[in-house]
């Protein structure tokens, strides 16, 4: 096995094309309000949120470039999605509750997924443009 001697890197931000800034803003504010995100950009066709280590930017282009269909319940793994690691199961449950209170139904409700790795617990949602956003935690097993 090759040893990595490069710098420790992480994802700093993502940017998503959306069809309606106000509708997407409502979704992402509900999803991220409990994760320490603050608004860093508010424009007619752009919106951004950031916490201590990660930012999400939403942009509405003049001419749409992307049209994404909703995943089907039978999809085993969603190829295109992003996942936000949260500290614990309670955080996953709180985000799911916040989303439900805001009118957003979970695509995959909070549950364990030992088929990924033991202790994997997550909930996934589709944003208004069918981008899949997963919130997950992995409980480390004590030996």
The tens digit of pLDDT for each residue in 96-128 reads 999 999 999 998 899 999 888 999 999 999 999
- The string of pLDDT tens digits covering residues 11-50 is 899 999 999 999 999 999 999 988 899 999 999 999 999 9
Which helix (H) or strand (E) segment holds residue 138: the answer is strand 132-138
For residues 40-64, give the mean pLDDT. 94
| Percent above pLDDT 90 for the chain | 63
Number of domains in the chain: 1
Domain that holds residue 47: 13-62+79-138
Asked whether the predicted pLDDT for residue 77 surpasses 80, the reply is: no
Mean pLDDT of the region 82-100: 94
Domain contains 51: yes
Q: Does pLDDT of 68 surpass 80?
A: no
**Residue of 141, 100, 105, 98 whose CA lies nearest to 121:** 141
Q: Assign residue 95 the CATH number of its domain.
A: 3.10.180.10
Q: Is residue 133 part of a domain?
A: yes
| Predicted structure pTM score | 0.84
Q: Look up tokens 């209170």; give the residue.
A: 101
In a domain, 6, yes or no: no
> Is 2 part of any domain?
no
Residue 4 within a domain: no
Tell me which H or E stretch contains 96.
helix 89-101
* pLDDT score for 143: 47
Residue 114 within a domain: yes
Q: Is residue 68 part of a domain?
A: no
């Amino acid at each position: 096995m090759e040893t990595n001697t490069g710098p420790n890197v992480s994802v700093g931000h993502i940017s998503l094309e959306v069809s309606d800034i106000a509708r997407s803003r409502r979704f992402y504010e509900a999803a991220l309000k409990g994760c320490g995100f603050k608004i860093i950009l508010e424009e007619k066709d752009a919106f951004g949120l950031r916490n201590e280590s990660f930012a999400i930017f939403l942009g509405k282009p003049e001419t749409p470039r992307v049209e994404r269909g909703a995943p089907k319940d039978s999809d085993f793994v969603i190829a295109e999605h992003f996942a936000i690691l949260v500290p614990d199961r309670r955080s996953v449950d709180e985000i799911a509750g916040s989303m439900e209170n805001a009118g957003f139904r979970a695509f995959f409700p909070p549950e364990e997924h030992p088929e990924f790795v033991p202790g994997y617990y997550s909930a996934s949602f589709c944003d208004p443009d069918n981008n899949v956003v997963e919130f997950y935690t992995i409980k480390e097993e004590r030996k």
